[in-house]
Amino acid sequence: MNGAATREHIVEAADRLFYQRGYEHTSFADIAAAVGLSRGNFYYHFKSKDAILDAVIATRLAGTRHMLRQWENEHPTPSGRILRFVEIVLTNGPDIQQYGCPVGTLNTELAKLGHTMRGQARELFTLFRDWLREQFTELGHADQADELAMHVLAFSQGVAVLSHAFADEEFVRREVSRMRDWLSTYEK
């Protein structure tokens, strides 16, 4: 098999497992079993577990950038784009209910571990924060764009944590509706 393809498979499996079970609770053996490789052979592709995490975060960053660019194409207005972000807790509802927010839970875990790669995980948040800020700026609220961006981000994290804890879909729907109303007061 192609080496680059195997590497991609590893990152893919690690990404999923890190999200579902957490970084620390996922062992090399788990990833190896998921990909179908022998445990020891791993070090040909990645020289440490941190290196896999590094690749996983890089993949997520690239994927997020791609998604945001796609949202910009699909929704012409900034308020439509912000709403698209808000609704992520619905479109990804089942995953969030089972595993929480991939960005939030990773940040929380790495912070508690005192992990070196904490800063790069935070970059995932920053990506959304900057993008949301741009949308609010375009909406004509440049003066408080960052504050509003953080508010929307806080909404998504709060909903994700409680959806994860209580598995209550109706709650998520109500919060989104509440957010939609709030957002409409900021439209031009």
Partner DNA sequence: GGGACTCTAGGACGGTTGTCCTAGCACCGT
Partner DNA sequence: ACGGTGCTAGGACAACCGTCCTAGAGTCCC
Considering only the stretches 31-39, 98-106, 112-120, 133-141, report the one whose residues sit in contact with DNA under the rule CB under 7 A: 31-39
DSSP 48: S
Helix (H), strand (E) at residue 9: helix 3-21
Footprint on residues 97-126 left by its own copies (CB under 8 A): 99-100, 104-105, 107-109, 111-114, 122, 125
For 112-127, b where at least 16 C-beta lie within 10 A, e where not — what string? Answer: eeebebbebbbbbbeb
Q: Which does 15 bind (CB under 5 to 8 A by kind): DNA, its own copies, none?
A: none
Query: What contacts 46, CB < 8 A, 6 or more positions away?
Result: 7, 10, 52, 55
The entry of DNA, its own copies, none near residue 180 (CB within 5 to 8 angstroms by kind) is none
Residues making up the chain, counted from first to last = 188
Q: Which stretch binds DNA (CB under 7 A): 25-33, 103-111, 144-152, 153-161?
A: 25-33
If binding is defined by CB under 8 A, does position 151 make contact with its own copies?
A: yes
37 counts as binding DNA under rule CB under 7 A: yes
Q: Which two tokens stand for residue 94?
A: 């089942």
Instruction: Tell me the C-alpha distance between 185 and 188, whole Å.
Output: 8
Q: Is 116 in the site for DNA (CB under 7 A)?
A: no
The residue among 1 and 73 lying less far from DNA, judged by its C-beta, is: 1
